[in-house]
Structure 1
Amino acid sequence: MPTTRSMDEALARTAVRALISQAELTPKPGLADTRDLQARATGTDLLALRWSAKALAPGFTAMAAAARRPGEPTRALREELGAIGRCAEWTMARAGGGPATGRPHHGALWVLGLLVAAAALQPGAAPRELTATARQLATHADRGAPRRPSAGSQVSATYGAAGARGEARAAFPHVRRALDALSAARAAGATETQARLDALLTVMSTLQDTGPLYQAGPPALRRVQDGARGVLEAGGTATAPGAAALAAFDAELRETGVAPRGSAALLAGALFFDTLPAAARPLDRPRGRDHGARG
């Protein structure tokens, strides 16, 4: 029987693998991937993205341990998770090369932190149950959070977009949609890369991603949603028409510099659920292929 410490570390490793898998997935429209020598949006290369993801492992382990102590999604736990997350973000920035690199996994840290805590609170629960628990955590205010408004909160106030916090308070509907898209694409015979790209595009097609909104307003968000929908309607990335539509969509976003980072963060959440360790996955859920960190 695994110890609680080993279970916490297993959850942390799964979260880190999900981050790295999302970073390495190629070609991601408008987002840094293995084709990039230099990630335009963050000023860091892919190696630094991997290191900064690995630097979050102790933070995720601490979040899982913090969740097991009260055993329920309390306000005190929410505040402790926030404090751990801010420390982890500081470490992540320096592991990736220092403050100049920005916060490459900022959105995914919020998503995965809540999901790791939920998985620690409910070992073996199904994704729908875990996202419901994450929602309970997200509804609590964090009195220790910085008072200054973030770019996401500014965009949410301006355009009414839900943002990352809205997604969490709605029980991560786009994480669940991405999981469904993964299953559907695999069942249709797609490769693992194609299945993950289709899952990402599924998120992009409907998410009110604050990244494009912040960069260029509603027209940029509509372009992201329409482009992603076009690839899926063409048959998805496993088909020749879908692959052609993806190439055109990717070229357009790279040309305009629009980066739907919120969609990438939610894909990381779906990949976390998809690769949960045996100790934390539902007993009635068959163990799938070990997808590891392949893109």
Structure 2
Amino acid sequence: MEEKNRAHHWAEEAAKLAEESILTEAVLTPKPGLVDAKDSGSHKDMDIFTFLRSAVSLREGFKEMFLSGYHGGADLKELLKSLRPKGMDIEARMFEATKDINTHKGIIFSMGLLLAALGNHMSRSDYQKNQLPTFTEKDTEEVFQIIRSMTKGIIQSDFKNLNEKTLLTHGERLYKEYGFTGIRGEAEKGYPVLREKVLPVLREGGYKEQSYDSRLLDMLMILMSEVEDSNIVSRGGMESLQYVRRSADRFMKDGGMRNPTALEKLHEMNQDFVKRNLSPGGSADLLSLAVFLGKMENIL
């Protein structure tokens, strides 16, 4: 009974941290093309209040994701199967909260995987306290490895027989047209942009003299310069993806948020992206994961 209660404490804490991470990304300002506390970016059907309602609707489902991982055992492929209906339930709650506006479908997938992997990792831990532990780099890498094992073959499985289908989903169409694997591809590879780019920069500690929001905005720009963002491709094609990547890369090469004119540059980038109808939503989702893991490792 004590172990069961401890698992529920961990699940509560993990779901609360996931909610905090998503809310942190939502209110971070200014974010080019994205909904933030100042404007709606390239989105005409939602604003920051839509995002807040959406974010707080996810917590109970995220708790269930953690517990699914904790009780899921060693068969990680079966664990992934068990998560799909739970993910659909969370989506339904999101759509109810937002009146059918898709605010967080991408992060439900990625944060759900992360929480289930965290639960699975904690089920094998001899940690005895009710609060979640502070993660080491090794702990984080083990969670990424669980995600890789869970999602191995997901691209081949989810995108098979596309030529036989007449009605394609958003992700299927991009895969068929561009070979674009999107967030599934990121998951199957264990989120390399987080492992190899974002988290190492945060661990270096060179950002500690910067304000919290400046650190996060630089992390967002690193993500935008690297991620195969299906949100951008669906709005403007591959040329737009390359444009966003170049814009973010140039921002970082100019000093990122350390540049005295950084905020002005971000406002100009926002106006430009709105004009082009571009929104790097995939990068925003990955920023939420980075915040979650940064807080787990106590580097944010």
| TM range, smaller chain | 0.7 to 0.9
Corresponding pairs, count: 275
Q: Shift in Å at residue 18 of structure 1?
A: 0.9
Asked if residue 128 in structure 1 is aligned to residue 131 in structure 2, the reply is: no
Distance 1:231-1:183 versus aligned 2 partners, 3 A rule: farther
Higher radius of gyration, 1 or 2: 2
Match of 2:97 among 91, 95, 98: 95
Name which of structure 1's ranges 9-18 and 68-77 shifts more when overlaid on structure 2.
68-77
Asked if residue 30 in structure 1 is aligned to residue 33 in structure 2, the reply is: yes
- Output the CA distance in 1 between the equivalents of 2:44 and 2:283: 16
Q: Secondary structure at the match of 1:130?
A: helix
Asked if residue 174 in structure 1 is aligned to residue 193 in structure 2, the reply is: yes
Instruction: Give the aligned partner of residue 178 of structure 2.
Output: 159
> 1:130 is matched by which residue type in structure 2?
V
Instruction: Give the aligned partner of residue 17 of structure 1.
Output: 20
Q: Shift in Å at residue 246 of structure 1?
A: 2.7
Q: Percent identity?
A: 25
Match of 2:223 among 179, 198, 203: 203
Instruction: Give the aligned partner of residue 84 of structure 1.
Output: 86
Asked if residue 110 in structure 1 is aligned to residue 109 in structure 2, the reply is: yes
Q: Secondary structure at the match of 1:126?
A: helix
Question: Contact between 1:118 and 1:134, CA under 8 Å: does it hold in 2?
Answer: yes
Match of 1:67 among 59, 66, 69: 69
Question: Contact between 2:233 and 2:240, CA under 8 Å: does it hold in 1?
Answer: yes
Cα deviation, 1:214-251, whole Å, max 9, x if unaligned, reads 11111111110000001100001122144443333222
Q: Shift in Å at residue 196 of structure 1?
A: 0.3
> 1:139 is matched by which residue type in structure 2?
K
- Output the CA distance in 2 between the equivalents of 1:51 and 1:119: 25
Q: Secondary structure at the match of 1:116?
A: helix
Instruction: Give the aligned partner of residue 281 of structure 1.
Output: none
- Output the CA distance in 2 between the equivalents of 1:182 and 1:40: 29
Question: Contact between 2:42 and 2:274, CA under 8 Å: does it hold in 1?
Answer: no
Q: Shift in Å at residue 161 of structure 1?
A: 2.5
Instruction: Give the aligned partner of residue 150 of structure 2.
Output: 137
Q: Shift in Å at residue 40 of structure 1?
A: 4.8
Q: Secondary structure at the match of 1:207?
A: coil
- Output the CA distance in 1 between the equivalents of 2:108 and 2:69: 16
> 2:151 is matched by which residue type in structure 1?
A
Q: Secondary structure at the match of 2:18?
A: helix
Instruction: Give the aligned partner of residue 280 of structure 1.
Output: none
- Output the CA distance in 1 between the equivalents of 2:239 and 2:225: 14
- Output the CA distance in 2 between the equivalents of 1:233 and 1:144: 38
Distance 1:288-1:173 versus aligned 2 partners, 3 A rule: closer
- Output the CA distance in 2 between the equivalents of 1:260 and 1:210: 8
Instruction: Give the aligned partner of residue 221 of structure 1.
Output: 241
- Output the CA distance in 2 between the equivalents of 1:272 and 1:181: 15
Q: Shift in Å at residue 208 of structure 1?
A: 1.4
Instruction: Give the aligned partner of residue 282 of structure 1.
Output: none
User: So what's the TM-score if we normalise by structure 2?
Assistant: 0.84
